[in-house]
Amino acid sequence: MWDDAFPSFLIGLREGLEAGLIVSILVATLVRAEARSRLPQVWTGVLAAIAVAMSFGAVLTFTAASMPQTAQEAFGGTLSVIAVAFVTAMVFWMRRSARNLSSELKQKVTGALAMGSGMLVLTSFLAVGREGLETALFLWTTAQAAGESAGPLTGAAIGLVLAAGLCWGLYRRVLKINLTKFFTATGVVLIVIAAGVLGYGLRDLQEGGVLPGRTAYAVDLAGSIDAGSWYSTLVQGVFNLMPTMTWLQVVAYVGYLVVVMTLFVRGVRATAPKPKPEPAERPAAEAPAGPRPRTGRRPAWVIPTAVVAVPAVIAGLAVALGRPKPAGDQTVAVSETDCGKGFTAPAPGRQTFRMHNTGRQASEVYLVDPSTNAVYGEIEGLAPGTTRDLVATVAGGTYAWRCVPASGRAVTSKPVTVRGGGAAKPVTPVSEQDLAGPLKAYKAYVGHGLDTLVGQTGTLRRDIEGGHLDKARTDWLTAHRTYASLGAAYGTFEDFDKKIDGRADGLPGGEHDKDFTGFLRLEYGLWHGQSAKELTGPARQLDTDAAGLRKAFPSQDFDPGDLPLRAHEILENTLQFELTGDTDEGSGTNLATADANLTGTRELLTVLEPLLTSRSPLLLPTVDADIDRVRKLLDAAHDGDHWTPVEKLPAAGRQRLDGATGQLLEDLAPVPDLLEIRKSA
C-alpha cells in the first residue's frame, strides 16, 4: 500500500507543515502581543478552513460518483490537470515566500487585531484555507488513480500527523529544521509526482473522449513487465507511470518535467542564500491588543459550531442537488398491458427513473428511441410488485418505455420529447436477423474445424493401436488444440463436449472411472505410463465421439444470442481452468490449449466485427492489442513442440499472463451487452 500512500504522504507532510507554520506564527504573534484572549478567533478560522476543505473533498467524491463512466473519466482528468497546476504554483510560491512568510503574517495579524474579531478569523481562515483546498484536490486525484486502495488516505493522515508534530516542536523550539532546504527537496519530488498525475489526468481525458489518441501507444510494456510486481506497483503508485502509455501522456510527462524542473532549479540557485532566518525568540513588534472581545453576548461554542456546520450543510446540499433525480413526481409503472404510466418528459442529463412493476409477470424494461429502437437504459427481470431504479443519460430527442413481459407481446408507451442539448449514447439494438450472417460464418468455421478434428483423432487412434505412443503424444496435442480452437464453452456442443473433453472431477473413480473419456483421459494415460492396450479403447471412443459431433453439429440448436457470449466465455474458461493448471493430466500443455482458445476467440470477433465496429468503434482495436499481448506471453512459454507447464512458469511471468488475460476479459465484457438481442415489438 506504500506505493499508493507515498505521494499523499508527501503532500500531507508538506501542506500540513505549511499550514502548521502559518498557524504557529499566528499564535506566537498573538501571545507576544499579549492578546491570548484572541486565540479562539484564530482557531475558529483554522477550523473553518478545515471544514471547507473536507466539504470540498466530499463534493468532488459524490459529484463524480453520480456521473456516467465517460463523464467520470473526463471530470477526474480535468481535476487532475487543475491539481497539477495548483501544486506547481504552490511549489514555486513556497520557494519564494518561505523566508518572508513570518514577517508578512505578523503584519496581517497586527492589522487584524485593530479591526476586530471577524478580521482575525478571516485572516487565519484565508491563511490556512488555501493549503486545505490544495490538499483536498490533490488527495482526490491521487485517490482516483489508486482505485479502491486505502493508501492515499493513510499516507495523507501520516503526513499530516507528522507535520503537526514538527510544527509543535518548532513552536516550542525543541526542533531546528532548515525549512528552505526542506521545501526545496520536497518541491523537487512533488514536481516528479505532479508530472505523473498530469499523465494520468490526460489519460482520463482520452478515456472520456475529450482528447484524441486513446489507442496511440508510445509505450506498451504490458507484455514484458509484470503489472503486479512490487517494482511495477511502486512506480505506478508513486509516479503514475503505467506499462502502457499513449503519446500524449509521454510528451506531456517529459515536457512538464523538463520545463518545470528547470525553472524550479534555476529559481533555487538564483535566490540562495539570503539573510539568516529570524530567530524564533525575537519578539514581534508590539501590536495594540485591540478591544477586548465582549463577553456574555453568546456562548463560546456558537461561532466554531457554525463555521463547521455551514460548509458541511452547503456541501450536503451540493451533493444532494447534484445527484440524479427521479424523472417526475410519480413512479413509472410497468405491466404487461400498460407501460410507462406516469412518465413525463425529463430534463436533459443523467436521470434516475423508479420503475415499479404493477403487473403479474416479470418484465424486461427498456428506455428507447421509438423511431430507431435504440436503447438508452434497461432493467432485466423486473419482478411483479418490485421497484428498481433505472439510471440513464438523456439529451434532446424522443423517448418511450418498452415493457417486454415474460410471456406476451411487448408494450411501448406514448413517446415524450426532451428539448435541450447534451449528448447521450444509446445502444443500437440487435435482432436475430442481424446475427444470422455472423452465426452462419461461425458455424462454417466450426464445421471445417470438426472435419479436421475427425481426421486428427483418427490418426491418434491409429498411433495408439499401432503402439506408437511417442507419436501419439505429439498427435494428441495437435488434435486437442484443434478442438480447443472451436470455442467449446458452456455446453456449446451439448453432451458431446463432456464426452470429448470432460474432466475427471466429480467422478467416483477419478481418472480411473469408466465414465472418464476423451482427450483428458488419453492425456492421463499417455503421460502416466499406460500401455497401448489400455489406451486403445479410450482412443476409439474419442474418435467415435468426434465423428458423432461432426454429424450432429449441423442440426444442433445454436441460439444466435449465445454467439456474443462465447467471445467472453471461452477465455473465462481459459483463465479458470487452463491458466490455473486445473485441467493438466500430465502433459503440461495447458498453455497450448490457452493459445488455441485465443484463436477461437479471435475467430468469433472476426465474424462479429461489423456489428461491433458500428456500435463501439474503439472496442476491437483495444481488444486486438490485448490479444496480441497475451499471445506474445504465450509464445514466450514454448519452444517448438515443448510448452512450459503452468506450474513451472516464473512467478512474475505467470502474474503477467494472468493480468494480461484478465485485462482482455475486462475489455471483452461489453460485447454481450452491445450485441444482446432485445425484443422490439
More reliable by pLDDT, 204 or 414: 414
SS3 labels along 506-540: CCCCHHHCCCCCCHHHHHHHHCCCCCHHHHHHHHH
Q: What is the pLDDT of residue 305?
A: 64
Choose among 98, 102, 101, 104: nearest CA to 272.
98
pLDDT (tens digit, 9 = 90+) per residue, 450-503? 999 999 999 999 999 999 999 999 999 999 999 999 987 656 787 899 999 998
Q: Are 287 and 109 in contact (CB under 8 A)?
A: yes
Q: What is the pLDDT of residue 315?
A: 57
Q: How far apart are CA 67 and CA 60, in angstroms?
A: 11
Q: Are 201 and 78 in contact (CB under 8 A)?
A: yes
Q: Are 349 and 321 in contact (CB under 8 A)?
A: no
Q: How far apart are CA 664 and CA 352, in angstroms?
A: 31
Q: How far apart are CA 542 and CA 526, in angstroms?
A: 14
Choose among 8, 33, 279: nearest CA to 139.
8
Mean pLDDT of 285-300: 47
Q: Are 368 and 375 in contact (CB under 8 A)?
A: yes
The angle formed by the CA atoms of residues 472, 478 and 484, to the nearest 5 degrees, is 130
Q: What is the pLDDT of residue 487?
A: 84
- C-alpha distance from residue 181 to each of 94, 184, 268, 443, 551 (Å): 11, 5, 10, 71, 81
| pLDDT for residue 100 is more than 70 | no
Q: What is the pLDDT of residue 390?
A: 86
Strand partners, 418: 397
3-state secondary structure at position 363: strand
What nine digits make up the cell of 539? 482412443
Q: How far apart are CA 463 and CA 526, in angstroms?
A: 12
**What percentage of the chain reaches a pLDDT higher than 70?**
73
pLDDT (tens digit, 9 = 90+) per residue, 304-325? 566 556 656 665 665 555 554 4
Q: What is the pLDDT of residue 293?
A: 47
3-state secondary structure at position 230: helix
| pLDDT for residue 148 is more than 50 | no
| pLDDT for residue 637 is more than 70 | yes
Q: How far apart are CA 313 and CA 326, in angstroms?
A: 22
Mean pLDDT of 548-565: 88
Please, which residues have CB within 8 angstroms of residue 572's CB and are 6 or more apart in sequence? 489, 665
Strand partners, 341: 333
| pLDDT for residue 112 is more than 70 | no
Q: Are 53 and 128 in contact (CB under 8 A)?
A: no
Of the spans 193-197, 459-463, 572-576, 622-626, which averages the highest pLDDT?
459-463
Please, which residues have CB within 8 angstroms of residue 574's CB and are 6 or more apart in sequence? 593, 594, 597, 598, 661
Largest pairwise CA distance in the chain: 111
Burial of 321 (0-12, 13-18, 19+ CB in 10 A): exposed
What nine digits make up the cell of 88? 506547481
Q: What is the pLDDT of residue 128?
A: 73
Beta carbons within 10 angstroms of residue 301's beta carbon: 8
Residue 379 confidence class, pLDDT cut points 50, 70, 90:
confident
Q: How far apart are CA 518 and CA 542, in angstroms?
A: 5
3-state secondary structure at position 195: helix
| pLDDT for residue 223 is more than 60 | no
Instruction: Quote the pTM value.
Output: 0.54
3-state secondary structure at position 310: helix
Mean pLDDT of 539-560: 91
Least confident of 1-10, 428-437, 545-554: 1-10
Residue 48 confidence class, pLDDT cut points 50, 70, 90:
confident
| Strand bridging mode 332-334 / 349-357 | parallel
Choose among 544, 539, 523, 541: nearest CA to 481.
523
Q: How far apart are CA 374 and CA 368, in angstroms?
A: 5
Least confident of 72-76, 199-203, 589-593: 72-76
| Strand bridging mode 642-643 / 416-418 | unpaired
Please give the radius of gyration of the chain, using alpha carbons only, rounded to the nearest integer.
33
The angle formed by the CA atoms of residues 670, 676 and 681, to the nearest 5 degrees, is 145
Mean pLDDT of 62-89: 69
Residue 151 confidence class, pLDDT cut points 50, 70, 90:
low
Mean pLDDT of 173-193: 73
Choose among 677, 655, 157, 587: nearest CA to 375.
677
Provide the strand spans (E) within 27-145: none
